[in-house]
Chain A
Amino acid sequence: EVHLVESGGGLVQPGGSLRLSCTASRFTFSNYAMSWVRQAPGKGLEWVSSISGSGGSTYYADSVKGRFTISRDNSKNTLYLQMTGLRAEDTALYYCAKGWGWFDSWGQGTLLTVSS
């Protein structure tokens, strides 16, 4: 069974930066696109970004374009989300998910809080 574990969340001041990580196991990581989906407290789901298996293609929601960068290290089975220029509205539980388009496996999420 696919296993995804996110880390790196925390409390950051507005304008700050943070990098989230997602460690994958129990599947051939490099063969699959990966994505980040977030959920603000008590709210619905919002797709954030996706990256192809090779890392050659990336895709971003308009709300994070130019501020967030998705990347991966296939030698480490790890997905990243580098976040800069953080805003209060970025506060959410960030899920790592396997897939491009639809998401067939999800981690348990890491919480980012943007507040002064």
Chain B
Amino acid sequence: EIVLMQSPGTLSLSPGERATLSCRASQSVSSSNLAWYQQKPGQAPRLLIYGASSRSTGIPDRFSGSGSGTDFTLTISRLEPEDFAVYYCQQYGGSPWTFGQGTKVEIK
């Protein structure tokens, strides 16, 4: 099983700042089969990124994904008030599909 470790656990930033979230896999994720989701309290997750770097429909371009192999990054270029949430990475290149434990982006 591929274990995904997200860091940091919590990121405290102000609106307008840049957020950089890390997702490190215990083994290489084939074909960059990695996705990122955003979840706000009381809501279902929302797909942001798939294929490591492809934005899902309707996702603002301030969200970008990068990386390959075992190291992946989600970057939010300038935080908007609505971006404060928990972010999860997920791999679907190995069996079983697995999620990271999440990074909470909170208002500083």
Contact = CB atoms under 8 A, between A and B. Distances in A.
A104 B36 CA distance: 11
Given A102-B35, A104-B56, A47 B99 contact: yes
Contact of A102 (B39, B90, B96, B102): B90
A102 B45 contact: no
Contacts of B39: 45
B47 A103 contact: yes
A62 B101 CA distance: 18
Contacts of B50: 101-102, 104
A45 B99 contact: yes
A106 B96 contact: no
Contacts of A14: none
A53 interface: no
Contacts of B96: 47, 61-62
A46 B100 CA distance: 9
Nearest to A96: B44
B88 A45 contact: yes
Given A47-B97, A62-B96, A101-B33, A95 B90 contact: no
B63 interface: no
Contacts of A102: 35, 47, 50-51, 90, 92
Contact of A101 (B37, B56, B97, B100): B97
B101 A44 contact: yes
A95 to B, nearest CB: 6
Contacts of B18: none
B20 interface: no
Contacts of B100: 44
A61 B95 CA distance: 9
B37 A45 contact: yes
A108 interface: yes
A35 to B, nearest CB: 9
Contacts of B102: 44-45
Interface of A: 37, 44-47, 61-62, 95, 101-109
Interface of B: 33, 35, 37, 39, 43-47, 50-51, 56-57, 88, 90, 92, 96-102
